[in-house]
Chains A and B, each alone.
Chain A
Amino acid sequence: GQQLNQSPQSMFIQEGEDVSMNCTSSSIFNTWLWYKQDPGEGPVLLIALYKAGELTSNGRLTAQFGITRKDSFLNISASIPSDVGIYFCAGRREYGNKLVFGAGTILRVKS
C-alpha cells in the first residue's frame, strides 16, 4: 500500500489561482520527485529534488525538499486550465532505486 500521504486528495482550481499540495511520510527519503499524470497516459516527471531544504522551479511550478527529509511540497502559480490532472509525489530511500508513490492529488477546474 501507499507509504506517502498526499494532501489534499483533490482540489478545484480557478484559472489564475495559486495551488499548493504536499506529501508526508513517517520515514526519511533521499530523493523526492513530482509527476503529473493525464488520463490514459503515464506519469510525466515535473521536478526532481535531491537535497534537504532544496527549492527547485520548473516554469510556474516550484517544489521543496523538506528539511526533515520526510516531506515535500509542490506549488503551482497562476494556474491555467491545462494544469488539471493528477499530481503524484514519489520518494526514493537511501538504498535502492525503486520509487514509493503517494495516492495523488486530483486537480479539477471550478465551473
Chain B
Amino acid sequence: GAGVSQSPRYKVAKRGQDVALRCDPISGHVSLFWYQQALGQGPEFLTYFQNEAQLDKSGLPSDRFFAERPEGSVSTLKIQRTQQEDSAVYLCASSPVLFSGRESYEQYFGPGTRLTVT
C-alpha cells in the first residue's frame, strides 16, 4: 500500500519568503506528526494532530511556524518569513489506531522535504 508522501521533496527559498510543505499520511491513519531534522542530527518533534485537532504544538520553534490538518487527512506545515536557521529536512509521520481502539505508538515516516533557505 501507499506510504506517507510529502511534497515538494526539495524546496529552495530566499530569506523572508513563505513556504508551505504538504504531507499525505497513510490512508486511515488518525495521528500525524511533523519533525524537523537538522544535518547530522536525529529528528526533533514539532507538532502532533489527532484527526483535525492539533493536540501538541510545543515543538514549533517560533510563531512563524504554523501547521494545519483541516479535514483530518492531508496536513500542511507553513513557515512564514523563512530564515537561514530554518534550513533542514522536514519529516512527516503518521500512525494508526489499533483494533482495540488504542492509539499505536509506531510512527511511519515519509521521505521528507529538504528546505534550503538562501
State the A residues within 8 Å of B (CB).
Answer: 2, 4, 31, 33, 35, 40-45, 48, 50, 88, 90, 92, 96-104
Please give the distance in Å from A8's CB to the nearest CB on chain B: 15
Q: Most chain-A Cβ atoms within 10 A of its Cβ — which of B31, B42, B43, B59?
A: B42
Q: Does chain A have a CB within 8 A of B115?
A: no
Q: Which of A43, A48, A50, A98 contacts B109 (CB 8 A)?
A: A43
CB atoms of B56 and A43 under 8 A apart: no
Q: CA–CA, A60 to B69, complex, Å?
A: 38
Q: CA–CA, A33 to B106, complex, Å?
A: 8
Q: Does chain A have a CB within 8 A of B66?
A: no
CB atoms of B42 and A96 under 8 A apart: no
| Residues 1-33 of B at the A interface (beta carbon under 8 Å) | 4, 31, 33
A101-B48 CB under 8 A given contacts A42-B4, A43-B109, A45-B108: no
Q: Interface size of B by Cβ–Cβ distance < 8 Å? A: 25
Q: CA–CA, A48 to B106, complex, Å?
A: 7
CB atoms of B110 and A42 under 8 A apart: yes
A-B contact pairs, 13 of them (CB 8 A): A2-B41, A4-B42, A41-B112, A42-B4, A43-B91, A45-B109, A96-B56, A99-B33, A99-B35, A99-B43, A101-B44, A103-B41, A104-B41
Please give the distance in Å from A14's CB to the nearest CB on chain B: 25
Q: CA–CA, A45 to B93, complex, Å?
A: 11
| Residues 47-83 of B at the A interface (beta carbon under 8 Å) | 48, 56, 59
- Give the residues in chain B near A33, CB-CB below 8 Å: 105-107
- Give the residues in chain B near A44, CB-CB below 8 Å: 109
CB atoms of B45 and A99 under 8 A apart: yes
A42-B111 CB under 8 A given contacts A88-B42, A99-B45, A102-B42: yes
- Give the residues in chain A near B56, CB-CB below 8 Å: 96-98
CB atoms of B43 and A98 under 8 A apart: no
Known: A31-B105, A99-B107. 17 other contacts (CB 8 A): A2-B44, A33-B106, A40-B111, A42-B111, A45-B107, A45-B108, A45-B109, A48-B106, A50-B105, A88-B43, A90-B42, A92-B105, A97-B56, A99-B43, A99-B45, A101-B43, A103-B42
